Structure formats: C-alpha cells, structure tokens
Amino acid sequence: MKQLNGLFICFALVALANPALAADSAATGSITITSPVNDAVLQNATGNKLEFNVRLSPNGNHVHVYVDDQDPIVFRDVSHCPCSIALPTLSSGKHTIVVKEATSGHAMTGVQGAVTATVK
C-alpha cells in the first residue's frame, strides 16, 4: 500500500509541475495581452489601443475588458484574434487593464490576462 501511495504522490507532483500531463492543454483557454506591454508608459490619454490574443476554454464564449474600476467592455468577436479595441480616455497615472474570459451567461471562467500601464 505504501508503494501505491508513493506512486500516486510522485504522479501528482509531476502533474503539478507539468500541467499538460494533468489536463489536455488544448482544452484550456488563454489570454495574452500584446499591447500595451506590462509597465508601458503611454504618452497620450486618448487614442490608445488594447491588442490581445484569445484561445477560449471549453466554457468560454467572449471576454470582458476591465480598465481600473470602470464598467467592463464586452467583446464578443474573439474568433479572429489577434483582437484590438480602443481604450477609454485614461487619466494621468497608473492603470490596470484586465481581459477576462466569460461564459455565455457572463460568469467568469478564471482565464484572464492583465497588464499595468502609466499615462504621462
């Protein structure tokens, strides 16, 4: 019995170290923000674009884009990414931009990407 427990623990540790063994990587979603890059310095408060790539998870349907504490921008056409949207006017200072995957009922799936940017 001890050998079986040890074998199980070894497999669990390998699976944690390599998520592809724990679940098929094609079944998981991903969001990658390509612009602005993390810790970018933006020169203008207007005219900035958010560019990102999305691979929806099995439960994913669309994404919500959050800029600081503003209401989300719902973006549905993620099938032809890379995607691009205009960011709202940003005040001077540091801002957090988060793209979160949502189900058709707008529940968050946990798949997300985030960056911070500073407007001069």
pLDDT of 5: 47
13 vs 111, more confident: 111
Question: What CA–CA distances, in Å, run from 64 to 43, 72, 76?
Answer: 25, 6, 9
CATH code assigned at 65: 2.60.40.10
> Is residue 17 assigned to a domain?
no
8 Å CB contact between 92 and 45: yes
Torsions phi, psi for 58 (to 5 deg): -55, -30
Burial 13-51 (b: 16+ CB within 10 A, else e): eeeeeeeeeeeeeeebbebebeebeeeeebeeeeebebe
Question: Residue 12: which region, alpha, beta or left (left: phi > 0; alpha: psi -120 to 50)?
Answer: alpha
The boundaries of the domain holding residue 51 are 25-119
79 vs 35, more confident: 35
pLDDT digits (tens, 9 = 90+) for 55-113: 999 999 999 999 998 999 999 999 889 999 999 999 999 999 999 999 999 999 999 99
> Is residue 20 assigned to a domain?
no
> Is residue 7 assigned to a domain?
no
Mean pLDDT of 35-49: 94
Which helix (H) or strand (E) element contains residue 46? none
Q: pTM here?
A: 0.76
pLDDT digits (tens, 9 = 90+) for 74-83: 999 998 899 9
